[in-house]
Amino acid sequence: MSHARFGFIVGKTVAGAVGRNLVKRRLRALAREVLAQHPSGFDLVVRAQAGAAELDWNRLREEFLATAENALTKVFE
């Protein structure tokens, strides 16, 4: 695999349609940050939990980047 891919699961328990789309847009933006640091090939599936739509940008960013770094560290060890 030569490139990285992200998949996002944002169910109806997260928010209504507008809130789910907001969460997906934010997660895609955060995924681009991770790709800039880790361009090698991997697949990562992210499932947004209920309440993700209520998080502000900074909190969502902190949690996403910490979780992604933790997962990628385990994969590439």
Q: What CATH number corresponds to the domain at position 11?
A: 3.30.230.10
CA distance 31 to 4: 10
Segment 44-56 shows an average pLDDT of 93
What is the distance between the terminal CA atoms of the chain, rounded to a whole angstrom?
17
Segment 47-67 shows an average pLDDT of 94
> What pLDDT is attached to residue 27?
96
Q: If pLDDT is split at 50, 70 and 90, which confidence band does 2 have?
A: low
Segment 19-29 shows an average pLDDT of 96
Residue-range definition of the domain harbouring residue 10? 5-75
CA distance 11 to 43: 20
At 43, give phi and psi (nearest 5°).
Answer: -115, 135
* Secondary structure class of 34 (helix, strand, coil): helix
Task: Domain count for the chain, please give it.
Answer: 1
